[in-house]
Amino acid sequence: MVTKAPGAAMYVPENADLTALRQAACDCHGCDLYRHATQTVFGAGPQDADVVLIGEQPGDQEDVAGHPFVGPAGRLLDRALAEVGIDRDAVYLTNAVKHFKFVERGKRRIHKQPGRTEVVACSAWLDAELDLLRPRLVVCLGAIAAQAVLGPAFKVSARRGEVVETADFRAIATVHPSSVLRAPDRTAAYEAFVDDLRIVREQLGKSAAAR
């Protein structure tokens, strides 16, 4: 039997800035993931960011550090962003789920994909971030992020790299950088990921020209 999580909405303060949202998220018990995670890992980046990159959930190193995308996948993302000319310091990085979900194998904590219940429970934080940031472009890194933003029927495999118009922003879905690290042909997977980020860079250029 799956127990419905109470959700994060009751923990999200009204009319809060990013600092207040981040502080409030530290006390979120909207689902059970907080029980075993080290801490909440909230989004990071400037409030005036034109682009928001959304991943699935924090990993082991992010859970310990308290910051998103600081592990191996984050370093690969840094490299790819630099290659296409996107300044990481100018983008906002966050995850659909703010706590690390894992299984223990000896001394190691192995990532476990969050379920739909946990994604929905955590959605109030992501909604609050996007409402406050009002980005021009949202980049969904992987299926969990894409379905959190564009609906549970969205398939990255079918619509990867496509520019999707929503009521509030344009969105582009690609793979999560961790999938590049796991790919049998890592070079080809990385080049395809960079190609997707070039589309993001192109869209940012169009946004700047339209101002």
- pLDDT for 208: 53
Under the banding of pLDDT at 50, 70 and 90, the label for residue 5 is: confident
Under the banding of pLDDT at 50, 70 and 90, the label for residue 3 is: low
DSSP conformation class of 35: G
Average pLDDT on 99-121 reads 96
> Residue 100 corresponds to which amino acid?
F
C-beta of residue 185 within 8 angstroms of C-beta of residue 149: no
**pTM for the model:** 0.95
Average pLDDT on 97-117 reads 96
- pLDDT for 205: 85
- pLDDT for 211: 46
- pLDDT for 129: 98
For 113-141, what is each residue's pLDDT tens digit? 999 999 999 999 999 999 999 999 999 99
pLDDT averaged over the chain? 95
Q: How many other C-beta atoms lie within 10 A of the C-beta of residue 162?
A: 13
For 157-204, what is each residue's pLDDT tens digit? 999 999 999 999 999 999 999 999 999 999 999 999 999 999 999 999
Token pair, residue 78, equals: 């840094």
DSSP conformation class of 105: E
Name the burial class of residue 178, with classes exposed (0-12), middle (13-18) and buried (19+) by CB atoms within 10 angstroms of its CB.
Answer: buried
| Greatest pairwise CA separation for the chain in angstroms | 54
Average pLDDT on 90-96 reads 98
Average pLDDT on 4-11 reads 90
> What one-character-per-residue DSSP string does 1-61 give?
-PPPP--SGGGPPTT--HHHHHHHHTT--SSGGGGTSSS----BS-TT-SEEEEES---HH
Phi, psi of 52, rounded to the nearest 5 degrees:
-115, 125
- pLDDT for 168: 95
- pLDDT for 1: 40
Average pLDDT on 62-80 reads 98
